[in-house]
Structure 1
Amino acid sequence: MRSSSWPYGLPIFRRDLINWQLWRLWLLTTAMEWVPFGRLAGWRRYQMPTVGKNRSRFSADVSRLEEHYSRLFMEHNDTPAAVQQRDRTTQESRMLRLCEVGDISEAAILDWGCGSGHLLHVLRTQLNFQGQYTGYDVSEPHLQAARLKFPDATFDRRDIFSKGAGGEFDYVLISGVFNNKINDNWEFMKEAISILFSATRKAIAFNALSYYVDYFDDHLFYVDPCKVFEFCKKNISPLVSLRHDYRLKPGTLPYEFTVYVRRG
């Protein structure tokens, strides 16, 4: 018997029916969340996040990043601000730098930290990309938007630190993932590069905020590009290129850099 005064069929709280397992099952099967954007607007069943049995040391950081970027999407919808980008021009400039890693026109690409898939838009509209694209992110709202825009591509929620890269790719591209300050950014960065390079057949390309700037934001992570270069050179591959010569905004110092790490 169900109470007509409660939504979603909440069981009546009578003493002879109280059962913690039943209540727990109800929570898992009928909990709902509001999705306020686009074709997905309305109530839907909440997808309980899946975490691997072997939680990584970065699981707490990944969860915080998931919450942060999901909130940004709810606030800004599918715009550059939802991925902490100033505008489309600077966002695409960063992405095009990454794409200089090699001939990617027909390659299998993993976009780690794909957001709502704007890199795929850049690849197809500006670089005549005809290859296979996979995007990983931790923010489900971003992923849902990406799937609506690009139903022929693969977008997954995946924690590489606990589940690995999930396959092999010609190139792995990473834009903006290392920018937010977390508990141990340097260890996070090193482990991510190591995991993802092991999944590449040709190369990995990523960007980061440079320590050589005239302004520091307390919420962002800045790293010495020489330190990153040395780590990659000694531990990942002898074939490393570093670019620190481009401006994203006129009249400013080059405040970020891009690294290409290739297989021999």
Structure 2
Amino acid sequence: MTQKLDDVRKYFTQKLEKHGATYLGVDYNSPESQEARFDELIRVIRPATEPYSLLDFGSGYGGTYDYLLHLGHKLTYLGYDIAESMVNKGNEIYAEDKNCSFTTNIEKVPLLDYAIASGTFNMKLDADYDAWTEIVINALHQMNDHARKGFSSNFLTKYSDRDRMRDDLYYADPLFIFDYCKNNFSRNVALLHDYELYDFTIIVRK
């Protein structure tokens, strides 16, 4: 399992080196699709007019933070990523912002209001499907443990067009994820699968 995460770490390090701190650097197809996914994820935050703290699980260089600032959100942001290169880039970009920080150590992450994960679990490379699902479940538990009010995550959906699906990507079963979250984290769980992308968003409120 550790080797599979190392492979993903190397993959995104290479993406960042090639494309820099852009949507391509974190493997999104376009800035529009990146922002569309952010819009669904932040539904967990309410009311967004009040200051809050946020864990961005698989943060990359912090694109989510920049997006939230442009929306006028007032927040304390902590980005967590397994790729040290991403964390270093985020700390470099936001070096003067006292409300923004990054870490590669989940054990040092305090309890925050919310946690989100955008595109974090999509790239499994050559990992076995069941093994990657175990990694996903472990990560959801970590998000739950560090989020006081709730968390959200998106996934590529198993209902994607078969002829466009790739072996190196993880297509989650939305019903399995929903059921797992209902049984393990909260009674208040929403499954969003009605927007124009080949993925879904799960929202867990406490």
Which one of the candidate residues 196, 200, 203 is aligned to 1:260?
Answer: 203
Q: How does 1:143-154 map to 2 (within 5 A)?
A: 143-151=87-95, 152=97, 153-154=100-101
Match of 1:137 in 2: 81
Distance in 2 between residues matched to 1:77 and 1:201, nearest whole Å:
33
Q: Which has the larger radius of gyration?
A: 1
Distance in 2 between residues matched to 1:68 and 1:213, nearest whole Å:
23
TM-score, length basis structure 1: 0.71
The answer to whether 1:102 aligns with 2:51 is: no
Equivalent pair of 1:165/1:199 in contact (CA under 8 Å): no
Q: CA deviation at 1:141?
A: 2.3
Match of 1:117 in 2: 62
Q: CA deviation at 1:145?
A: 2.0
Q: How many residues align?
A: 195
Q: CA deviation at 1:148?
A: 2.1
Cα deviation per residue 1:58-116 (whole Å; 9 max; x = unaligned)?
32222111111101111111221111101111111111211111224411100011111
Cα deviation per residue 1:220-255 (whole Å; 9 max; x = unaligned)?
01011011111111122111100000014xxxxxx1
Q: Which has the higher contact order (CA 8 A, sep 6+)?
A: 2
Match of 2:140 in 1: 193
Q: CA deviation at 1:165?
A: 6.2
**Which structure 1 residue ranges, 4+ long, deviate > 4 Å from structure 2?**
none
TM-score, length basis structure 2: 0.90
Match of 1:40 in 2: none
Q: How does 1:54-93 map to 2 (within 5 A)?
A: 58-93=1-36
Which runs of 5 or more residues in structure 1 are unaligned? Answer: 1-57, 249-254
Equivalent pair of 1:80/1:87 in contact (CA under 8 Å): yes
Q: CA deviation at 1:172?
A: 0.2
The answer to whether 1:229 aligns with 2:174 is: no
Equivalent pair of 1:205/1:259 in contact (CA under 8 Å): yes
Match of 1:179 in 2: 122
Equivalent pair of 1:111/1:133 in contact (CA under 8 Å): yes
Distance in 2 between residues matched to 1:130 and 1:216, nearest whole Å:
38
Match of 2:113 in 1: 170
> What is the aligned-residue identity percentage?
30
